[in-house]
Structures are given as C-alpha cells and as structure tokens.
Amino acid sequence: MWDPGGGRSLISRLEAAPTESLSDGNLDFPDKQDFFYSFFVFSFFRDFVVDKRFQVNNREKLPVKLHELTIEEAHRLLKRKEISSVELTQAVLERIQAVEDRVDAFITVSEKEAMEQAKEADQQIAHGHCESLTGIPLAVKDVICTRGIQTTCASKILENFIPPYNATVIRQLRQAGAVILGKTNMDEFAMGSSTENSGFKITRNPWDLTRVPGGSSGGSAAAVAADMCLGALGSDTGGSIRQPASYCSTVGMKPTYGRVSRFGLVAFASSLDQIGPLSKNVSDCAIMLNAIAGYDSADSTSVPQDVPDYTAALQKGLKGIRVGIPGEYAASEGMNPEVLNAVNNAVQIIEDIGAEKIEVSLPHTEYAVAAYYVIAPSEASSNLARYDGVKYGMRDKNQNDMIKMYRSTRSNGFGSEVQRRIIIGTYCLSAGYYDAYYGKASQVRSLIIEDFNTAFEACDLILCPVAPSPAFKIGEKVDDPLSMYLSDIFTLSANLAGIPGMSIPCGFSKAGHPIGLQLMGKHFNEEMLFKVAYNFEQTTNFHKKKPSL
C-alpha cells in the first residue's frame, strides 16, 4: 500500500496545483459526461475507498498517487519538499512491478541506479537546487546509449552490449537532475510500427492488452500511458514517436531534424532519425524538450540555433494562427471513419478557440511511403553494416572463416524485419538499381519538401491524423510488411521533410481505443505546435483519461 510520506496530508501538497479547468470552456464535448463518470467510478473501485487525504480540491475529487503525477505536478511537490525523489522513484518502480507482467514495456529496469540517482536529486533539492526535471523519474527507449546500462535496440545482436558512454540526451537529462528508470522495449533497431519486432518481448497496449502499443517507441508510449514513468524518450524515423503516442493516448513530439543531438542514438536512417519526448501532457513535453534540445559538437548534423524556452509558448489564445488542413489526408485509402471524425472534431475545437482554418494541399503525400521505404532501408543497410561480430555484440564463434562468421552472426543476430530491410536497402543501392530506386526516391523527397514549403506559405501549422486507424491487434499485420508500412502514411512525410511533428490525444473510438491528432510545423517552430497543442489540451480532457489496468 502506498503511503505518501508517512501520512502527511496531501491536501496541502496539491492545493496549489492548477485546477486545469475541468469544466471551463464552452465547447460541447460529446463524451465528457460519460468519461468523467466512468473515470470516477473506475478510480473509486480500483482504490476501494477514496481516502479523504487524497482529495485535491473541490472539483477534482480523485485519488492522487505519486506515479500518476505529471512532471509539472511532481516538480511542484519536490520543490516544496512535500515529497522526495526517493519516494517518487520508489512509487514508480512499484508501479512498474505491479503492471509490467501485463504491459511488458521495459527491457531493463535499472532499479539500483535509479534509486541512487533519486538520492542524489534529493541532496540537490536539499541544497535548494530544484530544476524542472530534478528528481523526476523518466524512461528511455533502448536505442539510446546509457553508460553502464545494457542498450540492446531490442536486438539479439546487441543483447549484452553495455555502452561505454552516455548519449548526449542522457548526459543532458542527468545534468538536469532526472532519474533514469530503465530502458523501454521497441521494434528491433526501431524498424516497425507495432513493437512486435522486438527480439525479446511483445509490449501490449495498456488500453487493450490484445492490441499493439504502436511502434517503434511502443515501450516508451505504453510506459507513459500506464504511469510506469513520468515521461520517456523515444526516437522517430518515420513516425516512431507519434504513432505509438497516438495509439496509447500520450503526447509525443518529433522535433525538427537537427534540434536534438543524435550522438549516442543507435543509427537506423541517419537523415531521418530524431530523438524526442513522450509525456502525459503538453507542458511536460515542453519541459523535456527544453532539457534535450540544442547544438552538440559531437553530432555534426545538429544545428547551431538558439533554443527558446518551450514552456513560454504555453500561452492561451490562438487568434491569428492559421491551421492548414491537407485534403489529401482525409481522402486517403483505408482511412478509418472514427479517426477522421475525431480529427475533424479536434480541428473544429481549434477553430472555435480562435484559429483560422485554411485548406492546403500536399499533393505528393501518396508517394511518401514508397519514397520512405527506399530511403530508410538504404540508409539502414549502410548503418547496420557495423554489426559484424567483431567490436561488440554477438558473434558466431563456430565459424573460422571471416565471411562465414559475418554472415552467420548477422543472420542469427538480426530478426526478420531487420534482414528484410537490409536486403531491400542493399538492393536499392546496388549497381544498376541505384538511380531507379535511391535516386528517384531522393527526387520525390524534394517534391514532398516543396509541398510543405508551399503549404507553409499559407498556414502556420498543419493538422491531420497521426495514423489511419486506432491500434491494431497483436499479430494482425506481422506477416504483411507492406500493410504495416502503410500504417505510417501520415507520419513519414515529416521525417522526409525534417519538420517537427507532434501527436496529442484527441479522442477514442467506440471500442475505447485512443486516437491522436497530428500537428506539423515549420522547421524549428516547435513553439507553434506547443502553443496550439496546449490550447487544445486546456479545452479538452482526453489527456486525463487513463487506461484501466
């Protein structure tokens, strides 16, 4: 049983928490009543008795558990020394222990290191040093190098790999005082849209354990949704942050290419990869991006451009902001009507709170999947050549011929999807095919970028679905790679163009599966996405609904 700091009253702890307008806003919100009713009833029965100590204020009579806190809320309590990072981290570790056998979000939980980091954070706080992330327990996708902690990329070929250095983002998070809880599951080498391609385990969607959490950052999204961390890092090469965020009803952002250092991110497709946050709400996402954005001399593709305070963009009011709606997305084949409906509803809300809606056109959208599945596998086939059984990772020690050793090691170490993409990429880059495939796709990439440039002359950001349908069933697409690839249709373009993209919760299907709204902006204009996302979130309650685990 969780005991908040020896029974001290949580009323004083949280009374200064923002009321987060549960009933403000004049918009008609279709399932508002149902949602609050079911949330309350569910919470009540789950805890059997709602202890009066946990009441936050008159409007929000919900039990507060430490693992359910947002980064912002936890920071406020830590700063006032009403909770400690040790208490908070312990509570989150207990939560992981309680639900991990159902969700399977983590490959490694580094409990001992996390508790040590929490103690350090408490010492910092005792010395009056409490930044936004000091003492906040976060999870990290297992594609980002953590010194001394196994980093597998969910691949058997890296099963025992212990990085000798930290990725720049880890160094930044640690400098900001964050606690690293462990490493989350993913599709092997970030190749996939369901986290089923993991070499170790299948993560389940906390909203429906028979469904995928999305991918490739499925472990991070599931962990955030199931309160197994306060926020998480993911990586996004074609939608790998945004699509799982939408499937799990979390916020997720792929920043502009070059905004966040890729040093220590295991490379998949170097011209498309970008690290970004997954969080419980928009403010937390801005807080996390503040910590990891910026130029890094160790990544020559990071961009030396000033980093604004992203939380300063979280201001009410959308007057004068032009949101572009691309007609091509609604017309896309296989578009689920419930998703379309939820997205249209979200656009209406954003219009109602002051933004101006403009129709835009992204005519080359339908070619994005084809271009991407030439470019990404081509880059991957080159990047993954380094796994040769020599410097790190596994080796087939039974082979005493060099070439046989390479071949046997790689075929035993890589899973099917990784081998499939290496073959496609090698084929597309091979003599006689290069111009027809890689050359052609790179030209189409230019046209896709041009589409965005034209659209952004007329609007400040673009709104569209994240994925054509809500989370699909585990196993449903596993033997049909092309149909899996097509589920990335709305997210790939942002990677090809290098622009920032974000997913925020915007509804649920009748069956209760989350739906996300995608926001895409101009290069280095994450602030615009935060502003619009924040205003939407302030007017709606989708982000507050939690899965019943």
Footprint of another protein on 436-495 (CB under 8 A):
437, 439-447, 449, 481-482, 485
Which is nearer to another protein, 468 or 470 (by Cβ)? 468
Q: Are 72 and 283 in contact (CB under 8 A)?
A: yes
Q: Which of residues 70-89 bind another protein (CB under 8 A)?
A: none
* 392's tokens: 């790190």
Member of 36, 420, 509, 549 binding another protein (CB under 8 A): 420
Determine whether 442 is an active site residue: no
Nearest-CA neighbor of 247 among 280, 273, 208?
208
Q: Are 180 and 114 in contact (CB under 8 A)?
A: yes
- Residue type present at position 35: F
CB of 157 to another protein, least distance (A): 11
Task: Write each residue from 265 to 304 as x if it is in contact with another protein (CB under 8 A), else as -, in one continuous string.
Answer: ------x-------------------------x--xx-x-
* 519's tokens: 């926001």
Member of 79, 322, 367, 549 binding another protein (CB under 8 A): 367
Member of 39, 42, 161, 200 binding another protein (CB under 8 A): 161
Which is nearer to another protein, 358 or 449 (by Cβ)? 449
Q: Which of residues 209-238 bind another protein (CB under 8 A)?
A: none
Which is nearer to another protein, 90 or 152 (by Cβ)? 152
Nearest-CA neighbor of 218 among 241, 250, 189?
241
Choose one: 47-55, 215-223, 433-441, 501-509; the region binding another protein (CB under 8 A): 433-441
Give the position of tokens 């250095």.
165
**Residues contacting 308, CB < 8 A, separation 6+:** 527
CB of 424 to another protein, least distance (A): 6
Member of 416, 453, 454, 548 binding another protein (CB under 8 A): 416
- Between the alpha carbon of residue 297 and those of residues 58, 235, 262, the distances in Å are 51, 20, 11
State the pairing for strand pair 179-184/137-141.
Answer: parallel
* 177's tokens: 């005082």
Q: Are 535 and 358 in contact (CB under 8 A)?
A: no
d(CA 50, CA 62): 8
Which is nearer to another protein, 38 or 408 (by Cβ)? 408
Determine whether 391 is an active site residue: no
Q: Does 361 bind another protein (CB under 8 A)?
A: no
Q: Which of residues 376-405 bind another protein (CB under 8 A)?
A: 381, 385, 388-395, 397, 399-405
State the pairing for strand pair 137-141/231-236.
Answer: parallel
Which is nearer to another protein, 136 or 502 (by Cβ)? 502
d(CA 63, CA 377): 47
d(CA 183, CA 146): 9
Choose one: 49-57, 64-72, 135-143, 369-377; the region binding another protein (CB under 8 A): 369-377
Member of 329, 414, 490, 536 binding another protein (CB under 8 A): 414
CB of 517 to another protein, least distance (A): 23
Member of 207, 247, 406, 534 binding another protein (CB under 8 A): 406
Nearest-CA neighbor of 90 among 170, 3, 16, 8?
3
d(CA 256, CA 127): 36
Q: How many residues bind another protein (CB under 8 A)?
A: 73
Determine whether 216 is an active site residue: yes
d(CA 524, CA 305): 9
Which is nearer to another protein, 42 or 161 (by Cβ)? 161
**Residues contacting 348, CB < 8 A, separation 6+:** none
Q: Which of residues 162-181 bind another protein (CB under 8 A)?
A: 162, 164-165
d(CA 175, CA 12): 30
Task: Write each residue from 112 to 151 as x if it is in contact with another protein (CB under 8 A), else as -, in one continuous string.
Answer: ----------------------------------------
CB of 422 to another protein, least distance (A): 5
430-439 contact pairs (CB < 8 A, 24+): 437/374, 437/378, 438/374, 438/375, 438/378
Member of 60, 328, 407, 549 binding another protein (CB under 8 A): 407
Exactly one of 141, 183, 531, 544 is catalytic; which is it?
141
Nearest-CA neighbor of 216 among 190, 196, 239?
190
Which is nearer to another protein, 137 or 393 (by Cβ)? 393
Member of 218, 234, 258, 326 binding another protein (CB under 8 A): 258
* 34's tokens: 């149902």
Q: 124: left (phi > 0), else alpha (psi -120 to 50), else beta?
A: alpha
Nearest-CA neighbor of 441 among 323, 275, 272?
272
d(CA 247, CA 254): 16
Task: Write each residue from 524 to 543 as x if it is in contact with another protein (CB under 8 A), else as -, in one continuous string.
Answer: --------------------
Which is nearer to another protein, 4 or 481 (by Cβ)? 481
* 93's tokens: 């570790």
Choose one: 41-49, 227-235, 253-261, 459-467; the region binding another protein (CB under 8 A): 253-261
Q: Which of residues 301-330 bind another protein (CB under 8 A)?
A: 301, 303
Active site residues: 141, 216, 240
